[in-house]
């Protein structure tokens, strides 16, 4: 098995196209065509993690945070980023990162946090727009099912918990081929009027090439009549933060204890207690102060995230209980996502969760 086979599996789950513009997810170091000897999974890739990979004979490290983030101008070992990269290259170890794309997909970082906290009824707190397109095509009746199925096969027609979604309506189309045309029905040089089905499906924009390829391969016309529209709709499967509910409400101190035992820090920082019970919880793995307003307007009782600044705690305005767990703490389970993905597909492949605690923040 090659490194690229593992990467493909991760990218099917968290397409790189869904990373934020400032991010640097992807294969950062190494050759994707190299034979994979084992994968070491971690939140951060540090020198200690590279050492661990060497010891475990893994030539692939998969991390959530990209070790190369804002670029490298030289590579002479003056800082930990350069030393980590140099060590990886010297030891033929590839480094791959799935960062904000893994944050943004519905089953990603936040779903793992929800699983640990015991929250259900999950939805994305701030879903993104303009990620969907619609294909409309006009097909002779005899081929409508075939075309629909071919589009479904590449992921068109998926909406939330539903797949194979489409809309069809009957009508008639006209066309007149010139003398070089090879019409599927009718005769060249003569006006044809044919019964056709208008088939509509939505799809994730990044699948456009596959969708069109399957359309053209299964539509019988020489010139395939089709329109593609960019949709303004929000896409419920991709975006920032998440919201979910506990089965039963709990009081605020029980809630804070629950958060502490789930993520394990010595203490959590929080805004003043509101003397109400907590049932609906918004949360965002990593640095999530940009979502405080969304959390409040969602009607959540509490918002769990990290890297909240002093003045941002004021933004709670007595409307929500903000809890800062620490960045490492709330994202520490993220490597389990990689483990589950790889294990499901390649059950016998050597895959290890890193035992290195990479948290640079200490408590005294
Ligand atoms: Zn993070």
Taking the centre of ligand 1 as the mean of its atom positions, its distance from the CA of residue 65, in whole angstroms, is 6
Contact 155, 204 (CB under 8 A): yes
Q: Are residues 111 and 200 in the same domain?
A: no
What confidence tens digit (pLDDT) does each residue in 109-154 have?
999 999 999 999 999 999 999 999 999 999 999 999 999 999 999 9
Confidence label for 73 from pLDDT (cuts 50, 70 and 90): very high
Q: What is the mean pLDDT of residues 31-47?
A: 98
pLDDT score for 75: 94
Q: Are residues 257 and 273 in the same domain?
A: yes
pLDDT score for 356: 97
Taking the centre of ligand 1 as the mean of its atom positions, its distance from the CA of residue 314, in whole angstroms, is 23
Q: Are residues 123 and 137 in the same domain?
A: no
Taking the centre of ligand 1 as the mean of its atom positions, its distance from the CA of residue 32, in whole angstroms, is 25
Answer positive or negative: Cα dihedral of 171, 177, 182, 186.
Answer: positive
Confidence label for 186 from pLDDT (cuts 50, 70 and 90): confident
Question: Looking at the predicted structure, is the pLDDT value of residue 160 above 90?
Answer: no
Taking the centre of ligand 1 as the mean of its atom positions, its distance from the CA of residue 54, in whole angstroms, is 25
Q: Are residues 161 and 31 in the same domain?
A: no
The number of domains in the chain is: 3
Confidence label for 159 from pLDDT (cuts 50, 70 and 90): confident
Taking the centre of ligand 1 as the mean of its atom positions, its distance from the CA of residue 185, in whole angstroms, is 57
Examine residue 53 and state whether it is found in any structural domain, yes or no. Answer: yes
The residue among 203, 231, 259 that closes a domain is 231
Taking the centre of ligand 1 as the mean of its atom positions, its distance from the CA of residue 117, in whole angstroms, is 18
What confidence tens digit (pLDDT) does each residue in 77-108 have?
999 999 999 999 999 999 999 999 999 999 99
Q: Are residues 35 and 169 in the same domain?
A: no
Examine residue 116 and state whether it is found in any structural domain, yes or no. Answer: yes
CATH number at residue 145: 3.30.70.120
What confidence tens digit (pLDDT) does each residue in 192-205 have?
999 999 999 999 99
Taking the centre of ligand 1 as the mean of its atom positions, its distance from the CA of residue 34, in whole angstroms, is 28
Taking the centre of ligand 1 as the mean of its atom positions, its distance from the CA of residue 286, in whole angstroms, is 4
CATH number at residue 294: 3.40.1390.30
Q: Are residues 48 and 67 in the same domain?
A: yes
Q: Are residues 91 and 136 in the same domain?
A: no
Q: Are residues 136 and 112 in the same domain?
A: no
Examine residue 282 and state whether it is found in any structural domain, yes or no. Answer: yes
Q: Are residues 252 and 280 in the same domain?
A: yes
Examine residue 358 and state whether it is found in any structural domain, yes or no. Answer: no
Q: Give the range of the structural domain holding residue 225, as residue numbers without chain letter.
A: 131-231
Confidence label for 283 from pLDDT (cuts 50, 70 and 90): very high
Q: Are residues 80 and 119 in the same domain?
A: no
What confidence tens digit (pLDDT) does each residue in 207-262 have?
999 999 999 999 999 999 999 999 999 999 999 999 999 999 999 999 999 999 99
Question: Looking at the predicted structure, is the pLDDT value of residue 362 above 90?
Answer: yes
Taking the centre of ligand 1 as the mean of its atom positions, its distance from the CA of residue 103, in whole angstroms, is 9
The residue among 189, 211, 231 that closes a domain is 231
Taking the centre of ligand 1 as the mean of its atom positions, its distance from the CA of residue 135, in whole angstroms, is 36
Taking the centre of ligand 1 as the mean of its atom positions, its distance from the CA of residue 329, in whole angstroms, is 10
Q: Are residues 116 and 265 in the same domain?
A: yes
Examine residue 359 and state whether it is found in any structural domain, yes or no. Answer: no
Examine residue 361 and state whether it is found in any structural domain, yes or no. Answer: no
The residue among 231, 255, 278 that closes a domain is 231
What confidence tens digit (pLDDT) does each residue in 285-330 have?
999 999 999 999 999 999 999 999 999 999 999 999 999 999 999 9
Taking the centre of ligand 1 as the mean of its atom positions, its distance from the CA of residue 99, in whole angstroms, is 7
Examine residue 363 and state whether it is found in any structural domain, yes or no. Answer: no
Examine residue 79 and state whether it is found in any structural domain, yes or no. Answer: yes
Answer positive or negative: Cα dihedral of 249, 251, 252, 258.
Answer: negative
C-alpha closest to that of 10 among 132, 96, 131, 123: 96
Taking the centre of ligand 1 as the mean of its atom positions, its distance from the CA of residue 137, in whole angstroms, is 42
């Amino acid at each position: 098995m090659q490194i690229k086979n593992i990467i493909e599996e991760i990218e099917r789950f968290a397409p790189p196209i869904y990373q934020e513009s400032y991010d640097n997810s992807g294969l950062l170091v190494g050759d994707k065509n190299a034979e994979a000897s084992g994968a070491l999974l971690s939140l951060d890739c540090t020198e200690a993690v590279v050492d661990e990979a060497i010891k475990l004979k893994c030539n692939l490290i998969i991390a959530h945070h990209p070790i190369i983030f804002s670029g490298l101008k030289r590579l002479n070992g003056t800082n930990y980023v350069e030393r980590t990269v140099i060590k990886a290259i010297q030891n033929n170890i590839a480094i791959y990162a799935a960062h904000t794309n893994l944050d943004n997909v519905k089953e990603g970082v936040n779903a793992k946090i929800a699983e640990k906290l015991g929250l259900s009824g999950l939805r994305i707190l701030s879903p993104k727009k303009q990620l969907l397109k619609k294909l409309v095509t006009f097909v002779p009746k005899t081929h409508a099912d075939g075309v629909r199925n071919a589009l479904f096969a590449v992921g068109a027609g998926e909406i939330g918990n539903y797949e194979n979604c489409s809309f069809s309506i009957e009508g008639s189309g006209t066309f007149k081929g010139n003398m070089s045309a090879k019409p599927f029905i009718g005769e060249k040089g003569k006006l044809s009027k044919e019964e056709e089905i208008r088939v509509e499906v939505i799809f994730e924009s990044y699948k456009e090439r596959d969708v069109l390829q399957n359309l053209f391969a299964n539509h019988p016309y020489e010139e395939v009549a089709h329109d593609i529209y960019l949709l303004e709709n929000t896409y419920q499967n991709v975006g920032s933060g998440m919201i979910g509910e506990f089965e039963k409400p709990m009081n605020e101190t029980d809630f804070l204890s629950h958060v502490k035992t789930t993520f394990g820090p010595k203490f959590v920082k929080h805004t003043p207690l509101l003397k109400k019970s907590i049932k609906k919880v918004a949360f965002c793995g990593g640095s999530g102060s940009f979502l405080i307003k969304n959390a409040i307007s969602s009607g959540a009782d509490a918002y769990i995230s990290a890297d909240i600044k002093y003045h941002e705690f004021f933004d709670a305005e007595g409307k929500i209980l903000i809890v800062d767990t620490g960045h490492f703490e709330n994202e520490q389970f993220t490597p389990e996502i990689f483990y589950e993905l790889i294990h499901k597909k390649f059950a016998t492949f050597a895959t290890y969760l890193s035992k290195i605690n990479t948290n640079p923040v200490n408590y005294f």
